[in-house]
Amino acid sequence: MSQYAYLVPFWPLLGFLIIAFWANRHHQFAAKLATTMIGISWVMSLVILWETLHAEQPLEMTFTWMALPSMLTKAGWTLSMGVLVDPLSALMISFVTTVSLMVHIFSLGYMHGEKYFSRFFEFLNLFTFSMLGLVLVNNYFGLFIFWELVGLTSYLLIGFYYEKWTASQAAKKAFITTRTGDLGMAIGLLIMWTTAGTLQFNEVFAAVDSGVLSGTTLTVMALFLFGGAVGKSAQFPLHVWLPDAMEGPTPVSALIHAATMVVAGVYLVARSMPVYMASEAASMVVASIGLITALMAGSIGLVQNDIKRVLAYSTVSQLGYMIMALGLGSLFAGTFHMFTHAFFKALLFLGSGSVIHALHTNDIQEMGGLGRKMKITFWTWVIASLSIAGIPPLSGFWSKDEIVATAAHHPVFLVGTLVVAFMTAFYMFRLTFLVFFGEPRDHHKYDHAHESPLVMTGPLMFLAVLSVVAGFWGMPWLSHGFGHFITSGQGEHHTPSILLMAVATLVALCGIGLAYQMYYKKAWSPDALAARFQGLYRILYNKYYFDELYDVVFIRPYYVLCDLLWTFDMLVIDGLVNLAGWLGLAVAVMHNWFDKYIVDGLVNGSGYMFRGLGRSLRFVQSGRVQNYTFLVAFGLLLLVIVQIDLLTLLTRLFESTP
């Protein structure tokens, strides 16, 4: 089956095309078609994963896409395309299709009755296609193409409710912010192309191994490449788009922000591990950015009131975790957390979707006591929360343990990791207690709440099972577990440390306990705490003022620049154009005057002259015979008087000369 891996992205693409061109008006058919297509991809990718588990070595299929004869200095170049099925891509396609399938099924219920029901599924299919292509392609160029496709489709999905001002703004923000990172990535690819002369994964890594690509060039290239990951994976300082992207429909948040688009950056770094391993400085930057992001986003998540925004910051924070683990050199920890996180974060997002579907509000201050009414949503939510908080033996515990173990050698990172773990546990259970426990704060909304239909709770339950069991694959005691698989059996097996596990679990329990005290028992008032640390609270509540900062630093100067350019256009460019127009007009006026008075004057003047002549001469023609006769007689008399000898004159005239 692995040799047919290129068919995995093909099915969603087919679904997209059919819906886009033929089934746009058949909502139910379009939705079922899209879900079926993802289902086929899902089955295929599971088979591929199974085969890869037992495969000796990765399967790569390449063909020459473009070949050009010698252009500049090089003796021609070729651009190849192909499919790479190795443990990493097999893992990626399997969980991408799993989450995508669950989101599709969930959306059948959640989006029911939407005006643009079929368009939603159309975009979902296109998005899944882009993501699958991104992880399957075997070179950086193809990766970049699909990378941009993912960016485009995320824009379409975030701006799905484009009539809503905030949604369209959020879509633009996501698109432009990620594009900023992509610019860095493009520069990185250009450096790669000019130095190594290839964009194929294995050839680039070979160039790194052989030292063709090394030193400062390598570091700079790796950092530029990381720029793309920073944008896509919402890392500091380009994280601002992700929380705003919650304006999209909730299933979109689950798909984009849990399992697919945002892990594209993590995938990029994981895929380029040989590059980052070769540069100490680059990997240190990657790890630091990851930690900063994790701490910053986690702390913001502590105080937000929008259920989806809390989850969004949680996602950013967990992505920071993954990036940090990769930066610290552990492919195992980074990808394993990405794998488990996909399930429990998708579950959390879909669970929040179920809650929002029931209450029609995002504000956790208006929720409460829902555990009694929405049993399935409640229990799956608790499982996911325990998992993300890192309580054994759920999946989040095992992956987080790997990250802690990776960070154990660096004191700063170890402390940071534990702080993030504490914050994660706290804000997740703050949500849990506020939403599902206690007394309802808004009775009107509470009375109308009801459990969601099976089509929505089904995916929740399925993901809950995965959230529980997915972690066992990566238990540190297994000699042929996840770590062995993802690194193709090349080590990274460390002795499990019971102490670290205990510490991590204890930290998580502390976080849960604090949330329990504050929001369930109400032993400590959160309001009092907020009042006490007012400055800190305000900074966190306003997300460290990043939006305001960017507004002042980038957006406003940009507007000013636009204004300046506009003014320049208006005054100088338009002025020149108008001046040319005026000059042309002036010349035309002069020409007109010349034609009218000189040329026409000559023509008319000759006419006038002859008319005047005729007018004066016509008085001779009086029409009176007597006048004429008088003139004849007078003339004759004149001749007689001056004695002209007419006869002689005439005779002489006709005389032949002697």
Partner 1 sequence: MTLYQYLALATLVFCIGLFGVLTRRNAVAVLIAIELMFNSVNLLLVAFTRYISPDGLVGQLFAVFIIVIAAAETTVGMAIVLLVYRGFRGIQVDRIGFLKW
Residues interacting with partner 1, by CB under 8 A? 618, 621-626, 629-630, 633
State in angstroms the smallest separation of the CB of 635 from partner 1. 13
Name the residue type at position 109: G
Judged by CB, which is closer to partner 1: 25, or 624?
624
Alpha-carbon separation of residue 148 from 182, 227, 516 (angstroms): 8, 14, 43
Judged by CB, which is closer to partner 1: 589, or 632?
632
Buried (b) or exposed (e) across 125-137, using 16+ Cβ within 10 A? bbbbbbbbbbbbb
C-alpha to C-alpha distance for 361 and 131, rounded to whole angstroms: 30
Asked if 330 and 494 touch (Cβ cutoff 8 Å), the reply is no
Judged by CB, which is closer to partner 1: 586, or 613?
613
State in angstroms the smallest separation of the CB of 638 from partner 1. 15
SS3 146: helix
State in angstroms the smallest separation of the CB of 639 from partner 1. 15
State in angstroms the smallest separation of the CB of 596 from partner 1. 33
The tokens for 172 are: 């633009």
State in angstroms the smallest separation of the CB of 656 from partner 1. 28
Greatest alpha-carbon pair distance for the chain in Å reads 160
Judged by CB, which is closer to partner 1: 72, or 617?
617
Judged by CB, which is closer to partner 1: 495, or 621?
621
DSSP bridge pairs for 85? 59
- For the CA atoms of 201, 471, 460, 350, the dihedral, rounded to the nearest 10 degrees, stands at -50
Judged by CB, which is closer to partner 1: 115, or 624?
624
C-alpha to C-alpha distance for 216 and 6, rounded to whole angstroms: 36
How many residues belong to the chain?
A: 658
State in angstroms the smallest separation of the CB of 622 from partner 1. 6
Judged by CB, which is closer to partner 1: 216, or 616?
616
Judged by CB, which is closer to partner 1: 477, or 619?
619
Asked if 437 and 310 touch (Cβ cutoff 8 Å), the reply is no
Helix axes 280-301, 411-436, angle to 10 degrees: 30
State in angstroms the smallest separation of the CB of 582 from partner 1. 54
State in angstroms the smallest separation of the CB of 630 from partner 1. 5
C-alpha to C-alpha distance for 156 and 121, rounded to whole angstroms: 12
Asked if 208 and 275 touch (Cβ cutoff 8 Å), the reply is yes
C-alpha to C-alpha distance for 25 and 309, rounded to whole angstroms: 33
C-alpha to C-alpha distance for 363 and 383, rounded to whole angstroms: 22
